[in-house]
Amino acid sequence: MIGNLVQIVLMVVSIMLPAVAPASAPRQDHTKPTILRFVKNPDLAPPFTIKDLNGNPLSLSDAKGKVVLLNFWATWCGPCRAEIPDLIELQKEYKDQLEIIGLATQEDDAEEVRKFVAESGINYRVAMAPDEVTEKFGGIAALPTSFVIDPQGRVVQKHVGLNDPSLYELEVRSLLGEPVNATVEYFEDTGQVFLVNADRATELPGVDMSKLSPEQKKAALRRFNSERCTCGCGMTLAQCRINDSDCGVSKALTEKIVSEIRNGNTKAMPSPVKTEAGGSKI
């Protein structure tokens, strides 16, 4: 009886052993650094001077030497409300080196915003966002939208939507020259940060130019940057594709242009138009 029991135990152990990883098995690497992406040769942040909710002058120039997180938000925006506690902690942690500025967007009642700020315990400066300021920053197509500005006053990154708070902190620390477990990469701004730079783009979201020759591609890009989208955004086709890759109007128009150029349509190109970066819809 005992011998049978021993045999059963040995059989069970032999079945289980192959499922156990050997001590020398490689483990998943959880220490891989985060990749931070900053604009190469960034543009200076558009200057503005407005009044905060307390009636005091608020200007980006006042924060020179600090990292600035310019946060376009709204009280009615769920993702905006969700990130506020993290922004409060970030401002508290880096109070002498970071200036978070909250610009309330698409809000009609400053008193309601002021009440919300007080109830939420927001510890950074908040102001109502005038239309001219949102236009200077390329139009705000979605909320929240945050611009990261380095101590020299240059816009080095733009985040649209609810962001990982740990990424904000890594960006702040990196821009302050503090050690971070992250790799920094640099990219050319071809409209990702400022739509006005869309004319630098050689590729556009959802636009297939793979069958065009180099000269045809240049011709297509010229038209994308000179013809306006008719969806009502007021942007060029290139800007609209970058700003809203789901826009069916700009997608159809760019596809038509690619087809015309590929089929040898050499009609005169329209003269370039002066475009503004605003006009985005929330």
Catalytic, 231? Answer: no
Percent of the chain with pLDDT over 90: 77
- The closest alpha carbon to 155, from 138, 170, 180, belongs to 138
- Which of 80, 231, 233, 240 is flagged as catalytic? 80
Catalytic, 240? Answer: no
- Which of 77, 231, 233, 240 is flagged as catalytic? 77
- The closest alpha carbon to 173, from 195, 196, 203, 151, belongs to 151
pLDDT, the chain, mean: 86
Which pLDDT does position 22 carry in this prediction? 32
- The whole domain housing 177 covers 34-187
Task: Answer yes or no: is pLDDT of 250 > 90.
Answer: yes
Residue recorded with tokens 């021993």: 6
CATH number for the domain spanning 49: value is: 3.40.30.10
Q: Given pLDDT bands bounded at 50, 70 and 90, which one contains residue 266?
A: low
Strand partners, 158: 147
- Let me know whether 173 and 199 are in one domain: no
Three-class SS of residue 98?
strand
Of 156, 187, 218, the residue that ends a domain is 187
Task: Answer yes or no: is pLDDT of 244 > 50.
Answer: yes
In a domain, 153, yes or no: yes
CA angle 71, 75, 80 (to 5 degrees): 45
Rounded Cα gap, residues 202 and 270, in angstroms:
19
